[in-house]
Structure 1
C-alpha cells in the first residue's frame, strides 16, 4: 500500500517517546500500555510494534469538525502506524479501507474518549449513501493483525445516523475506551467483532453504548460477534443498554470460539442482555438488569423476550459472581436461561432477583434436544447451581425450573420468594440433588415430576410464618 505523505516527515510524524510524553501529560496510558510488549491489560501477545505515530493535528486533521478527516486518515493507513488524535471534534464520514486489508500493527487512538469525538456524516448507516452492506458501515477493518482502536466518542445523535463499526482481525484485536452517543436508529447495530484464528485473541474493554436503539423497527443488535469467530474474545467492563435484539449477541459462532464477559452493566436489552453459544464461554462479575418497560413494547411489536443471560447453543457456560435483576412486567423466559439447543451449565456465587409483577423464572433450563444448532452432541445436560441466591416477590412460576436435566445439583442455595403461588425448585424429568439449602417460598418448595430428588440439609422456612422444617 503506497501513500502520498505530503510535506516533511518532521512535524507530521512524532517519535514514540514524544507522543508518550504527550499522552502522559494528558493522563492517558492506553497507548503506552498497548505498545509495551507483554502488557497484561489487553495488548496482543508480543505487544504492538508501531514503527511510527502520526499526530493527526500536525498531519492536517481539522479538530473543529468543519472539514472531513477521511483523506488524511486514508493517507496514513498502513501497517506499523498509529494514528493519534489529540483533543477535538473530527468529522469522519466513513473509514472503509476495504476487505482483506492485510494491515498489521495498525491503530487509531484518541487521547481520551471525553476529549476526542468522531462525528459520522449525517445519514451514515441509512440508505442515503447507498443500499449495499458496505455503504452503511462507519468503520470497517477486515483481515487485520494487531489492531488497536480506542480513546474516543462516536456522536450518533443526528437522526438516522450511525453506521456499524466492524473489526475483524486474524489476531490481536484491542478495542478500548469507546463511547457511542445517541439512540441507534439505523438498521445495523453499532458494533461487530470477530477473531478468525483459533489461537487468536481479542479484547473489547470499556465499550459504552448507554443510549440504546429506537423501535419498533428496525431491530439493531448492540454488539454482534460474527459467525466465523474462532478465537477468544473477551468483553471487559462494557455498558450496553436498551437494544432491541440483544445487548451482546455472541451465540452465532460455532466452537471452538470462546466468549468471555467480565464485569460491565447490561440493562433492558430485548432477547438477552448477554447471549452466549460457544462451549466454555462465561460471564463473571457482571450486572444484568431488566427494570424498565421498553418503548418498543407495544402491540405492534410482539417479539419481546427480555432474558438476562441466555445460553442459546453449546455447553459448559458458566456464570460467576453476577447480579441479575428482573423487575418489570414484560415477557421473558427468565433471568438466566438455557435453551433447548444447549447442554449443561454452571451458576456460582450469583444472585437473581425477580420482582413483581414479573412472572417468569429466575433460572431456567429448557429440555435439551441433545445437540447444538451445528449438530454437535452434548456430553452433559446437567445444571449446577452453587452458592446461588434467588429472592423477590414475583408471583407464580418458580425460582428455579429444570427440565430434562438429569444429574443436576443445587448446593448452598438461598431461595426466598414471597410472591403468591411462587414455587422454589421445579424439576421435570430431572433427577437432581439438593443440599445445604434454604427454601422459603409461598408455593411448594420442591416440585418433582418424573424426577428422583435427593435432599440433604435442606431447610424449609415457610416465609417466616413458623419455625419451618428441615430435611437432614
Structure 2
C-alpha cells in the first residue's frame, strides 16, 4: 500500500469517527426515531427474518404473519382510550389464536400481568402515526411485565409506548419466551425507572428467548432513555435481556438504550445466537452490550460513555460502565464478532475497558472498529483465559483487523492482551500521545503476529513479555510495520532490540522478559528490557 493510499484510508476513517462523534448527541439516530418502517436487513442477516410484507389483499397479513381476524381495540373490544377503565379483562377474553388487535391512539390502563400460554398468530399493534400515539399505562406503586408470553409462534408487537410517568413509582416491560417468529418493532419504554428495592420494585424492559433452535425473532427499534434511580449493582432491572432458555436466533436492530440501571443489553449466557445490528447504547451502568459465542455479533453499533452528558432527572449514583463486553460465565463460549462499531468514552466514573474480552471468552474477531478514549481507562482489554469452571473452550486466539484507537487518554494503555498465543493484529492504528499511555501490551501471547501497526503513544508503543518455554516461537512478530513512536520517551541510550525491520521481525525476549519498545528508527527497533535479564 502506498503512502497516499494509507493517508487516504486514515482520512476517510477519521471522517467516519468525527461524524460519529458529532451525531451521538442527537436524540434520534437513524432507525431509532418515530417511524415504523419494516426491519432492515443486511447481507449477514437470515433472509427468513425479512418481515416487510404489509398485506396480501385480504387486509389480514402484517409483516409476514397472516391472521384470521383483525379487531379494533376501541370499536370492537370497548377499550377506553382515556385510560380510566382498565383493559385487562377484555385482553384476557379477546386475545385468542389468530387475532390481531389494532389499537387506535390513546391512553390504555393495564393493572396486572398477562400470562399468554402457548398462543400462536396473535398481535397487538398501535395504529398511530408514531409509537407515542398509543400509550399503555399502569397504576402507581406497581411494577410488572404486562405481557408475559410462554411458547407459541408468529407474534406481532409494535408501534406503542409503555409509559411509566415521571415519579419513579412504577415500571413495566414485556417478556417473550416463545418458540419462533416474534416480530417486535417501534416500541418505547418511557418515563422514570425505579430501583428494585423501591416500594414499586422494577421490571425489565424487554426479554426475548427463542426456544426452537431453528426459530428466529426480530426486534427492530426498541427505545429506553428515561431517568434512572441508580442503585449499587445489581439493584436495578436489566433493560434488554436474552437468557439461558434461548436456543434460536434473535436480531436486535436499531435499539436506543440509554441510561440503563443494569446494562443496556445482557445476552451472553445463552446457547443461541444474539445478533445486534446498529443502534445507540449510551451511559448504561455496567455494559452497553454484552454477548458471547459463535453465531453472535455486534455490527454497526455506537456505544457512548460520558458522565458529563447524563440524562436529566437521574437519581442515585452512576458507578461506571463498559462499552462492549464478551463474557459467558460457566458456559465458557468461544467465537463471536464485533464489526464496524464505534465506541466513545469521553468521561467516566470507572471503566474496565471500552471493549472487554473476559476470561470466560475464547477466540473472537474484532474488525473495522473505531475507539475514541479520553479517560484514564484501557481501551481494549483481553483477559487471560480462566483456569476454573469458567474456562472457555479452545481456541483462545484473537483476531483484530483494521482497528483505530485515538483520543486524549492519560495514564493507561490502548490495547492489553494476556494468555492468547497465536493471535493476529492487523492494521491496528493507535494515536494516544497523552502522558504515560502505552500502546500494544502483550503478555504470554507467543506466536502473535502484528502486521501493519501504526502506533504513537506517550509511553511505550509496544510492550511484550512472556516465556516461550523453548518452543522457538517469538514473543511477537512484527510485519509491514508502519510506525512505533513515543511522544515523550527518549530513545537515546535505548537498546537495539532488533537489527533490521525488513520483512518479518521476531521479538524474542528470552526467559521471562518484558521488553518496552520506544521507537522504530533507521530500520532498527529500540527499547529497554523492563524486567528479567
Fold agreement, TM-score > 0.5: yes
Tell me the distance in 2 between the aligned counterparts of 1:321 and 1:372: 32
Q: Does 1:398 align with 2:400?
A: no
Q: Does 1:151 align with 2:170?
A: no
Q: Does 1:333 align with 2:339?
A: no
Sort the Cα spacing of 1:424 and 1:89 in 2 relative to 1 into closer, same or farther, 3 A. same
- Partner residue of 1:423? 438
1:183–1:211 CA contact under 8 A, matched in 2: yes
- In structure 1, stretches of 5+ residues that fail to align are 1-25, 32-36, 126-135
2:90 is paired with a residue whose SS is helix
Deviation at 1:49, TM superposition (A): 2.2
- Partner residue of 1:7? none
2:171 is paired with a residue whose SS is coil
Deviation at 1:464, TM superposition (A): 10
- Partner residue of 2:175? 166
Deviations 1:135-181 (A, max 9, x none): x3322111121111111011111432113311111101111100111
1:212–1:240 CA contact under 8 A, matched in 2: no
Q: Does 1:63 align with 2:81?
A: yes
2:459–2:487 CA contact under 8 A, matched in 1: no
- Partner residue of 2:501? none
1:247–1:274 CA contact under 8 A, matched in 2: yes
2:415–2:440 CA contact under 8 A, matched in 1: yes
Deviations 1:178-220 (A, max 9, x none): 0111121133322211111111111111000011531126321
1:212–1:241 CA contact under 8 A, matched in 2: no
Deviation at 1:123, TM superposition (A): 2.1
- Partner residue of 1:51? 68
Tell me the distance in 2 between the aligned counterparts of 1:231 and 1:268: 29
2:191–2:226 CA contact under 8 A, matched in 1: yes
Match of 2:341 among 311, 314, 322: 322
**How large is the Cα RMSD of the aligned pairs?**
2.8
TM, length-normalised to structure 1:
0.83
- Partner residue of 1:346? 365
Tell me the distance in 2 between the aligned counterparts of 1:41 and 1:365: 37
Tell me the distance in 1 between the aligned counterparts of 2:365 and 2:427: 14
Tell me the distance in 2 between the aligned counterparts of 1:79 and 1:225: 25
- Partner residue of 1:460? 484
Sort the Cα spacing of 1:471 and 1:409 in 2 relative to 1 into closer, same or farther, 3 A. farther
2:457–2:487 CA contact under 8 A, matched in 1: yes
Tell me the distance in 2 between the aligned counterparts of 1:236 and 1:371: 35
- In structure 2, stretches of 5+ residues that fail to align are 1-33, 40-46, 54-60, 195-200, 468-474, 491-518, 525-533
1:365–1:403 CA contact under 8 A, matched in 2: yes
Tell me the distance in 1 between the aligned counterparts of 2:404 and 2:523: 19
Give the aligned length. Answer: 420
